[in-house]
Amino acid sequence: MAERRLWSRLQVARNEGFQFRRHLHFDGYVVDFFCATAHLAVELSNDGEDSPLTRLLKNKGYTVVRLSHDAVNEDPGRAAQSVVGACKVAADRSSLFKT
């Protein structure tokens, strides 16, 4: 349920230039949400520990935003805003390295 709530809110992020893919397959894992423009992945989990997928993504240079299902269910709009904010920061950071 949290995933559907966040997905519907992230669709609005297209207005800000960020397009998300859902359930992206990545090296044998499935990323909940992925934004190629920002080089950012979103993981939903109630586990406080970094997953093997999170570690893999970070090692490959991706920004990873981890949100709990509870936080998304409680306020999906705020969760989406935090993801879009992270996209803006990640996109700005990656643009610094482009020549």
| Amino acid 94: pLDDT | 64
What are the pLDDT tens digits along the chain (99 aa)? 899 999 999 988 888 889 999 999 999 999 999 999 999 999 998 776 778 999 999 999 999 999 999 999 999 999 999 999 999 999 887 665 554
Q: How far is 47 from 14, CA to CA, in rounded Å?
A: 29
State the pTM of this model. 0.87
Edge-to-edge strand order for the sheet containing 40-44? 20-26, 29-35, 40-44, 63-67
| C-alpha pair distances (Å), 27 with each of 57, 73, 78, 82 | 10, 29, 30, 26
Q: In terms of CATH, what superfamily is 2-91?
A: VSR Endonuclease (3.40.960.10)
| Amino acid 75: pLDDT | 96
> In the chain, where are the structural domains located?
2-91
Q: Which of 37, 42, 79 is nearest to 57 (CA)?
A: 42
